[in-house]
Amino acid sequence: MKTVQIEKLSHFINGEKVEGKSGRYGDVNNPSLGVKIAEVPLASAEEVGEVVELAKKGFEVWSKISVARRMEVLHKFRALLVENTDKLARLTGKENGKTIDDAKGEISRAIESVDFALGAPHLLKGDHSVNVGGEINSYSMHKPLGVVTCIAPFNFPIMVPVAMSTMAVAVGNAMILKPSEKVPLSALLISELWTEAGLPAGVWNVVNGDKEAVDALLEHKDVKAVSFVGSTPVAEAIYEKGTKHHKRVQAFGGGKNSMIIMPDADIETTVNSFIGAAFGGTSQRCMAISTAIPVGEKTADAFVAALKEKIKELKVGTFDDESADFGALISAESKVNVLGAIEKAIEEGAVVAADGRNPEVAHEDGFYLGATLLDHVTTDMKIYKEEVFGPARIVVRVNTLEEAIDLINEHEFGNGVTIFTDSGSAARTFTENIEVGMVGVNVPIPIPVGYHNFGGWKRSTFGEGQMFGPDTVRFFTKRKTVSERWFDTSYNESKTDFSFPSS
């Protein structure tokens, strides 16, 4: 692989950039060009322990600051995200490979989660009851947990870390972010924006690393909660290890998201929706549509024929190519894995309707694949069972809506699903009977807005609580309930009462 001038990166700890001590580094690539652009330090368990101690001190300060003052910092942070959108988008494209437009889209969703966190003063309000019995008043409050951590994926270097962490900070916790070692540049820039917004030292920290750092965070007694986004096998491992060490854990895994196409759906509208939802972001989205399920052979033939023509128009290019529909995969390894999935599917009997294995690109060293569509896929094929994180999408043909629903419900994943139809009856049958966490009707990617909860079912999510929405407050706080009574000066308790308290 060609190399350019290599930047030596750092961690962000206690309000400043800190060089790594472990002596271990990972490579950061520009996927568009296929070149190494930086080296990121991989923290040791000892380094993680040092960061936790500093975060505890940051928590002591931040948790005692008024909610109003915290909101001032969040308002400034939001303004800085808006002001630096172009810079963030370009940096994201450089290290992730996604197009600038796609990067700006994820930044807008990140800002949406900050908007929701600005409602923390209302969301933190507890309950209050007067004279519940014996002149006793009862009230409850939300208290921050302490030091919490977010372990973020490579595919959304801005949106996921911000969405996972902003409410945690807003309610008074100290945060340790462990970004994907493939995309550390965005996390470091976010850190600078938090500092510029006025967040006290130690409240926001970035520890770069691999499994050693993750294990140290999961095992440390003073890390109270863990939020994770990644693949299902890793999500399950994070959940099991985190809960073993008595932590609150939410771990979001992968998906095999389907689009059901009913015979009454408008084919052109459906195809356009599928194209963007299936291949946008080079299909490296946990909510990407991976499986088209047309109902009836006539519907399937029309859908596939129209889709093949649309795929021919797609352009793959560098992150800063304004004419590109999507960019490169994150790594050479990812490209090999997607090619392997395609070849295995063909071996098992899938029919290649559109072949993107050799796209025309300006930079041949980049990690590029074009859009590939495999038709006549069956449920016993590996490509149907497993998530493919790249632009290889499949068509599974069924005869009825009920058959489609059964297929989806029997799958181990339950992240997202959608139906395209003009029938209210079909839509209602679908939404009531589908066993999936996020459901769309004529909406290609049913990701909820920032003030609704985000999360899948079955093996797409482990643990309690969801990302975005009101669940973020519940996950990152603990409830305290107070019962109080004030005696007047003439009060005199006449006897000791050993009965269980009641009204």
Q: Which residues pair with 150 in a beta bridge?
A: 177, 227
Question: SS3 of 100, please?
Answer: helix
The answer to whether 59 touches 71, Cβ cutoff 8 Å, is no
Question: SS3 of 230, please?
Answer: coil
- Burial (CB < 10 A; 0-12, 13-18, 19+), residue 374, is buried
The answer to whether 204 touches 8, Cβ cutoff 8 Å, is no
366: which residues sit within 8 A by CB, 6+ positions away?
31, 32, 33, 34, 97, 318, 328
Give me the catalytic one of 229, 286, 304, 395.
286
The answer to whether 244 touches 236, Cβ cutoff 8 Å, is no
> Taking the CA atoms of the chain, what radius of gyration do you get in angstroms?
25
Question: SS3 of 288, please?
Answer: coil
Cα dihedral 191, 195, 196, 199 in deg (nearest 10): 130
184: which residues sit within 8 A by CB, 6+ positions away?
9, 28, 38, 40, 95, 206, 208
- Active-site residue flag, 286: yes
How open is the CA angle 398-399-402, to the nearest 5 degrees?
85
Query: Distance between the two ends of the chain, CA-based, in angstroms?
Result: 75
The answer to whether 150 touches 124, Cβ cutoff 8 Å, is no
CA 386 to each of CA 5, 8, 275, 336, 456: distance values in angstroms, whole numbers, following the listed order: 38, 36, 20, 16, 16
Question: SS3 of 425, please?
Answer: helix
H or E element at residue 258: strand 257-261
The answer to whether 111 touches 449, Cβ cutoff 8 Å, is no
What is the rounded distance in angstroms from the CA atom of residue 419 to the CA atom of residue 291? 12
Backbone phi, then psi, for 18, in 5-degree steps?
Answer: -130, 130
User: Which sequence positions are flagged as catalytic?
Assistant: 286
